[in-house]
Amino acid sequence: MTVTPGWYMALAAVLFVIGASGLLLRRNALVMFMSVELMLNAANLSFVAAGRELGILDGQVAVFFVMVVAAAEVVVGLAIIVTVFRRRATASVDELSELKG
C-alpha cells in the first residue's frame, strides 16, 4: 500500500477546512491570523503533491512564492495588530467597530 498524491490532497483539504473554521469561529485577531497560515500551508501541501504527480518542479516554485507572500503578509498583519493594540488595548476583532454604519 503506497501513499498516493490523493492522500496528501485529502489531508490538505481537511487542514484547509480546519483553518477556515478557525477564521470564521474565533474572535482573537492573532488566532485568526494563525488560521490563515494554516490555510496557506494546506494549499502549499497540495501544490507539492500535484507537482510530484506530474513530475515537474513548478509546484515547488509556487510554494516558494506563496511562502514569500505569506511572510510579507505576516509582518504587515502583525504590525497592524500591534498598532491596534496600542490604541485600543484589545486583540478582539469584535471590539473594533468604529466603522459600523
Contacts (CB under 8 A) with another protein, residues 7-46: 7-11, 13-22, 24-28, 30-31, 33-35, 37-38, 41, 44-45
Q: Is residue 83 close enough to count as binding another protein by CB under 8 A?
A: yes
Structure-block grid coordinates of residue 12: 490538505
**What phi, psi does 3 have (nearest 5°)?**
-85, 115
Q: From the list 94, 98, 99, 101, which residue makes contact with another protein (rule: CB under 8 A)?
A: 94
Q: Where are the alpha helices (DSSP H) in 55-90?
A: 58-88
Q: How far is the CB of 39 from another protein (least distance, A)?
A: 10
